[in-house]
Chains A and B, each alone.
Chain A
Amino acid sequence: MTTMQKLLQLPVNAVNIVKTVQSQVQGQEEDKSPVLTPDGGQQAWYNALQPDELRHLRSGGSGGGGGGGGGGDKEEKAPLEEGGSSLQSQPLRHDDLKEMLDSNKDSLKLEAMKRIVAMIARGKNASDLFPAVVKNVACKNIEVKKLVYVYLVRYAEEQQDLALLSISTFQRGLKDPNQLIRASALRVLSSIRVTIIVPIMMLAIKEAASDMSPYVRKTAAHAIPKLYSLDPEQKDQLIEVIEKLLADKTTLVAGSVVMAFEEVCPERIDLIHKNYRKLCNLLIDVEEWGQVVIINMLTRYARTQFLNPNINESLLEEGSSSDKTFYGSEEDEDDEEEKEKKAEAVAIAKRKPYVMDPDHRLLLRNTKPLLQSRNAAVVMAVAQLYFHLAPKAEVGVIAKALVRLLRSHSEVQYVVLQNVATMTIKRRGMFEPYLKSFYIRSTDPTQIKILKLEVLTNLANETNISTILREFQTYIKSMDKDFVAATIQAIGRCATNIGEVRDTCLNGLVQLLSNRDELVVAESVVVIKKLLQMQPEKHSDIIKHMAKLTDNIQVPMARASILWLIGEYCEHVPKIAPDVLRKMAKSFTNEEDIVKLQIINLAAKLYLTNSKQTKLLTQYVLNLAKYDQNYDIRDRARFIRQLIVPTEKSGALSKYAKKLFLALKPAPVLESPFKDRDHFQLGSLSHLLNAKAGGYQELPDWPEAAPDPSVRNVEVFALLERVTTLTSVPEWTKCSSREKRKEKKVEKPFYSDSEGESGPTESADSESDSASSSERSSGSSDSGSGSESEESEEASDSEEEEEDEEEKDKKKKKKKKETKKPRQQSESEQTSDEEEKKRERKSKQCKSDSESESEEEESESESSQSESEESESEAEVKKKKAAESKPPPKPVKKESKKEKKEMSLLDLDDFEPAPSPQVTPVNTFLSNSLVTDLEGLSLSDTVLSPATISPSSALKNYELLHRITGEGLSVEYCFSRQPFSPDGNMVAVQMQFTNSATADAKSLHMEDVKLQSGMRVKEFPEIELLPAGETATAVMGIDFCDSTQAANFQLCTHTRKFFVSIQPPVGELMRPVFLTENEFKKEQGQLMGMNEITEKLTLDAKCRNEHSIVQRVTTAVNVSRVPCGSDKECSPPVPPPAAPVHRFAGRTVTSGSLVLITVVTKEEGAAQLTVNCEKMLIGTMLVKDVLLALTQ
């Protein structure tokens, strides 16, 4: 006993002493005991000898209990005195324990319970204490209670009647306000396997399934399989509960309920449909054990619902094009159309080209990160999912993760290697790069060695065989003979599979024949025999060599192999064969059975080929065999004699004897034992054992035609709601203060749907992941504008339909597209008409750029890129020409008009294009720069005179210096939203100086710029003179580093210095970019998770129409609108959805991170705002600003 333990026990002992003193009142016997007198001197001695033990021993001897137990006690006492501890195994007689349990001291009860539990743990029977224990089920002390629960669960089954006494306590517990108590009451109630209470359990489970606390719901999910195993007749009711819990949105419940699903009703795959996407999305947040179960279940689900992604491997020769479809659902859309066209063209093609269901893709995408899990079971689950479900080109990703697991515990290695072995047979290429990771160390356990060998053998091909054989050579020298034998077999397999090395291998193996270890030789013989069968004529010398071995080799299998070989190829060794038979005939009686059989075979064959020399020998052998003990051998002898020795009776058959015996035998195929194991789901127990385990669910084959994917669609409303609950939580931002975050979270807890009991929840990146992906799915179902789900519907619908129908469909689609395009064109024509009208009123210069603009609007993609390039190059040009001349004020005016046009362009589908001065800034920005570029004019300070900006009245002026503090000088600034030509990463700030003083202000300049790290400022050029009453403007550039930190500096005149600061609203930290809707969606898809924030809002009464929304958003944020015309292109034939979607795109100025804003409007001014931005901080602030803009 360590001192530590002693110390630990001290207090317990102390209690016991106190206890005993108290119990003196009850038990008079104890009074008599001399040891008990509580005097100090003796207490020290107690401690050493564990006084409580003494006490009980004593009371055991003198207490009311019978003496029957005494003997047993003594037995147990002995080991205790040696070194047991007080808790572990006190051989208390049950009476004492009962006594302790009956006392009203919790500490005594606890002590007793601990001892009882210790007994249970050791497997000792404690069932006769049941009545005493069960009384304490309502004990206040939580530890006692827990231990009583442990006891109850263990023995309730045996004492059903008594167990019923406890039920009411649990029923009370189920109503407790404390969720832990509710949960544990349910847990125990469902764990005591007493059939009478099935109805009570059913009721409790049903109630708990709708409990507020997700923890209780989880417990309910756990209870389902318990009840099911107790009474399978409850299945139908339980399925209802499962169905309900499957719809649960918390990650806590997901794993457990899927587990219940798998145990109770794995065949009810239809229950999963509605929850499929949710499960995929929640997956990363579910605890690891749940992940395993869910992934395995989803693998099966996917096998029933999706098409085989590798189906067109053979159908489509152009492998590259088929590969393309596998990437990105967005691309799928395009590819899909392409494919369809192709299919049309190749009308002969019987099957439709494969298109992956977006839900299939969702599953693959959402499980992939889990390959990085620390839990080997999760990694394996994902690996098998990819193996069974992923397109061939993508399966490779799992190899690395599986190889990583080889570093883990040997048991993990064992299982992983088994699965790798199966995988290598099907997809060798996947693991080839990791060949060396399977090299064997002498310290590996034998079973691991053999599995690694298996993998190495499977991986062998022409290119790597030499390295592998070199490795094998070192293995052969190993001390582990089982391993050596396996290596020899592996060499044999390599030799049969790879023709080039057959001779090398054979030679190597022949060398092994002189090995001193008999096992090695024997194994070699067996393998050589198999190899020789392939080309025996070339190797008669080897056969001769082996014939010699018969003298030495004792291993039966090897001897039998040699004999068979000689018999089979006796014509190659005509001289030796009879001699061998002679020797064998001598030792026949001492041979093993298999050897005897082969001797008979050899004799028969020799008799047929060389009867002259061997006739007598054969007869002798057959005679010996006739009286053998083994009936098999006797039978064989009789049979062969009839066959080969011609007699009158057996004339017919013996003619064919030669044909029968000397027929060419096909060479054996050396196969991996792991071949075809993949019909079991990898990673499963059944796969490991290569036998169906109880409860194994077969992995179904891919369906011929995909079932209707729409079954997975979920009503928009429910989804949307969830989206907000999931995503409305602020992201992890570096700067946002902890408290803030917490507060918010309390308001809207993450997964626990705002239940009172759930505390502040925290989230990791995974959270956002799931949130985002759920968003994704919702997006797909709600918007209806080119959403994936609908497309997939379409796709698979058409797949199911007959060909001609398909074609019709396609035609329709085509038509649709065609009709759409013209419409767009006409619209743009229309606008250009308008334009022309206006143009007449305008100067000619604007022509070119307005055209380019409208083009820009129409043309898709590239634009953003080329745009930025353009502006960059412009910037350079401008630099050179800076501060030269003034551009004419005309472009400005043009702009304003153009803007109107732009609006109408954007509002293609809008009823009344209500022109407004507000611009989608990209156009302003573009046009402006274009203008300057075209006109060869350069920007100067005056370019941006207030007049320039005024048209977009939205540009808000901020005060930098008030007239009074500035002693007559007032300065205002605004963010001009123009590119700042000297440095593209800076935000242009236009300042307007007004001198309302009486005196002139001279040499206005800035000084002493104080900036946060990373920020830069390009100062405005000094204004030499600002006469009284005049105004002047200047432009400065500030690189805010994508933060809203203020830039502080001093504004100096010739007399004074003013401390001023410029703080940008977050909306000004970006510049608009042009994206098409498809691009937008694609980008949005990449900016999910933490990078996405969704908020619900109610639009201001004045801003319910599309136009004002666009205006308000673009006023608040410098972004450009994504044209919604393309909406129509992708939308299905069904009428366009009622919810218009407005999309805006921009990039932050410094880092160029994309900022995507989506506003979805619904009835009654309800709307939903989504901001996707890589910079989460910016995203968060942006949401606030846009919300403000839209609601006020």
Chain B
Amino acid sequence: MIHSLFLINRSGDIFLEKHWKSVISRSVCDYFFEAKEKAVEPEDVPPVLQTPHHYLISIFRGKLFFLSVIQTEIPPLFVIEFLHRVADTMQDYFGECSESVLKDNVVTVYELLEEMLDNGFPLATESNVLKEMIRPPTILRSVVNTLTGGSNVGGTLPTGQLSNIPWRRAGVKYTNNEAYFDVIEEIDAIVDKSGSTVFAEIQGVIEACVRLSGMPDLTLSFMNPRLLDDVSFHPCVRYKRWESERVLSFIPPDGNFILMNYHVSSQNLVAIPVYAKQSISFFETGSCGRLDITIGPKQAMGKTVESLMVRIHMPKAVLSANLTATQGNYTYDLATKVLVWDIGKLNPQKLPNLRGSLTTQAGAPKPEDNPSLNIEFKIQQLAISGLKVSRLDMHGEKYKPFKGVKYLTKAGKFQVRT
């Protein structure tokens, strides 16, 4: 099982180590550093490395590497998933998962890690259980603790740990009882040069923010649940009810959580909200190139496309870009060779256009390939698949909660090939 954990920042410093069994020298990380040297991008570091005596399984999250040391056979996904859970927990506790924050809260981090694993086997990973054992730091609490001598560590076993709903704390109380659900759909698409769709699908997620007192039992139903092709649930969702009635019945965790992920069946035609007309060309001589991009609305269901942004990973040879944008502004990062054009709201009357010239390195051969465009956008109040929440019912508690559903469509991995 998981033997040790090292947190490593991007420049390769180990700033935290935790061992659940006997101590393993941090020199074991050298193998990892070696691999990291070889990789161009941090993402290219192989997640699983083999060393003479250990196996190193790592993830890259928030500019940090979480590196775990394994000694014996274990499903690699088990470790990867756990490491991501650690990162999620940190994010949940401290608002972000960065080196400085973790360093500032090193003791809490350590206590958390201590609770999350026992002898390398996950013990408590539900954030609600953890929060009962180790309370997240807040300003108020630290003041109170100092004055009263209280501590951030719970003295009794969290009820969640024993119950069948470890995700929920007992005795939750709110003055405003509210439940919000965000239906967020992402369009993953590959559009080819000519503008025809090579591949498109919709991935959705329902993010919930539930602040309800007591033990509410919620039922969320959809107008058109048949749309959903493949789903995965938070453990709180009763699978049987979904199977038989296509409703989501659950006792929610307290706070923010992801209720379900879904995939809209690929039989449905996916509406592509925007199109891009682009021409990027490099000249054989003169070490320069031209770029001309126009973005227009395609099938936006009558809604405005917002937060439009185009991101282009330029060939390494491109030195600078001299462009004019009719709307929004652009930046070209020399180090990463990424051209970002932040457009904002898409105005169908006046299509945004970006054109101008690119300077390439003198003497370098003409780039072989034209870079593809990665488009980002958002459409408020629309679920592009047409999924609609029909109602939310609550049982088990007497009060009337405030309920809200929000829809949002955005671009997932939306790529236009050139």
What is A's interface to B at a CB cutoff of 8 Å?
4-5, 7-8, 10-12, 14-15, 85, 87-89, 106-107, 110, 114, 117-118, 120-123, 141-144, 146-147, 149-150, 154, 157, 178-180, 183, 187, 190-191, 193, 213-215, 219, 222-223, 225-226, 229, 251-252, 256, 259, 263, 284-285, 287-289, 292, 296, 369, 372-377, 379-381, 400-401, 403-404, 407, 409-412, 414-416, 436-437, 439, 441-443, 445-447, 471, 474, 477-479, 515-517, 683-686, 688-689, 691, 693-697, 732, 734-735, 737-738, 741, 750-752, 757-769, 1089-1090, 1174
Contacts and interface: CB of A to CB of B under 8 A. Distances in A.
B163 A14 contact: no
A899 B406 CA distance: 61
Contacts of B114: 146, 149-150
Contacts of B396: 737-738, 741
Interface in B263-301: 263, 266
B165 A11 contact: no
Contacts of B250: 764
The 7 A-B residue pairs with the shortest CB-CB distance in the complex, in nearest-first order: A765-B238, A695-B72, A11-B146, A143-B151, A477-B369, A696-B73, A445-B43
B241 interface: yes
Contacts of B77: 376-377, 380, 412, 415-416, 683
A735 B217 CA distance: 11
Nearest to A400: B230
Given A8-B142, A121-B16, A761-B164, 16 more contacts: A11-B145, A121-B107, A122-B106, A146-B153, A147-B107, A190-B119, A193-B22, A215-B162, A289-B125, A377-B81, A412-B80, A415-B47, A447-B46, A479-B371, A697-B73, A738-B395
B326 interface: no
Contact of B192 (A110, A403, A474): A474
Interface in B218-256: 219, 229-241, 243-244, 249-251
B139 A7 contact: yes
A5 B104 CA distance: 8
Given A225-B119, A685-B70, A689-B50, A373 B22 contact: no
B357 to A, nearest CB: 20
Given A179-B157, A445-B44, A764-B235, A516 B368 contact: yes
Given A11-B145, A214-B162, A439-B198, A377 B316 contact: no
B321 interface: no
B304 to A, nearest CB: 26
B23 A154 contact: yes
B363 interface: no
Contacts of B266: 436
Contacts, number: 336
B34 interface: no
Contact of B118 (A222, A759, A764): A222
Specify which of B157, B159, B161, B236 lies most central, judged by the most chain A CB atoms within 10 Å of its CB: B157
Interface string B66-99: 0000111111111011101000000000000000
Interface of B: 1, 14-19, 21-23, 26, 40-41, 43-44, 46-48, 50, 55, 58-61, 70-78, 80-82, 84, 103-107, 109-111, 114, 118-119, 121-123, 125, 137, 139, 142-143, 145-147, 149, 151-157, 159, 161-166, 168, 170, 188, 190, 192, 198-199, 201, 203, 214-215, 217, 219, 229-241, 243-244, 249-251, 258, 261, 263, 266, 313, 315-316, 365, 367-372, 374, 393, 395-397, 413, 415, 417
Contacts of A144: 151
B17 A123 contact: yes
B59 A409 contact: yes
A445 B22 contact: no
A373 B232 contact: yes
A263 B244 CA distance: 39
A83 B40 CA distance: 31
A287 B192 contact: no
Contacts of A471: 198
A692 B30 CA distance: 23
Contacts of A479: 313, 315-316, 367-369, 371
A126 to B, nearest CB: 12
A409 B17 CA distance: 23
Nearest to A295: B75
A259 B1 contact: yes
Contact of B413 (A415, A443, A477, A517): A443
Given A372-B232, A404-B232, A694 B72 contact: yes
A256 B162 CA distance: 14
A401 to B, nearest CB: 7
A374 B235 contact: yes
Nearest to B317: A479
Contacts of A688: 48, 76
A757 B162 CA distance: 9
A752 B315 contact: no
B153 to A, nearest CB: 4
Contact of B72 (A123, A296, A693): A693
A11 B144 CA distance: 9
A1117 B256 CA distance: 46
Contacts of A215: 157, 161-162
A1172 to B, nearest CB: 13
Nearest to B103: A88
Nearest to A695: B72
25 contacts: A4-B139, A89-B103, A118-B110, A150-B114, A180-B155, A223-B119, A289-B82, A372-B231, A374-B258, A376-B77, A380-B77, A400-B229, A401-B230, A401-B232, A412-B77, A436-B198, A436-B199, A442-B417, A685-B76, A691-B50, A694-B72, A738-B397, A758-B162, A759-B162, A767-B164
Q: Is chain B's binding surface mostly helix, strand, loop or mixed?
A: mixed
A374 B365 CA distance: 47
A1089 B413 contact: no
Q: Find the residue from A10, A117, A213 having the highest chain B CB count within 10 A.
A: A117
B118 A118 contact: no
B415 A296 contact: no
B375 to A, nearest CB: 12
A285 B235 CA distance: 9
A548 to B, nearest CB: 21
Contact of B151 (A121, A142, A214, A284): A142
B104 A88 contact: yes
A442 B75 contact: no
Contacts of B122: 287, 289
Contact of A381 (B18, B75, B214): B75
Nearest to B84: A409
A768 B240 contact: yes
A474 B76 contact: no
B371 A121 contact: no
Given A374-B261, A685-B76, A693-B72, A751 B156 contact: no
Contact of A738 (B164, B215, B234): B215
A180 B313 CA distance: 54
A1180 B87 CA distance: 44
A737 B123 CA distance: 33
Contacts of A252: 161-162
Contacts of A85: 103-104
A695 B120 CA distance: 15
A1089 B244 CA distance: 12
B39 to A, nearest CB: 9
Nearest to A119: B106
B81 A375 contact: yes
Nearest to A448: B43
B80 A765 contact: no
B198 A292 contact: no
A760 B163 contact: yes
A1177 B283 CA distance: 75
A259 B1 CA distance: 9
B164 A750 contact: yes
A689 B188 CA distance: 31
A477 B76 contact: no
Given A292-B78, A686-B73, A442 B104 contact: no
A685 B367 CA distance: 40
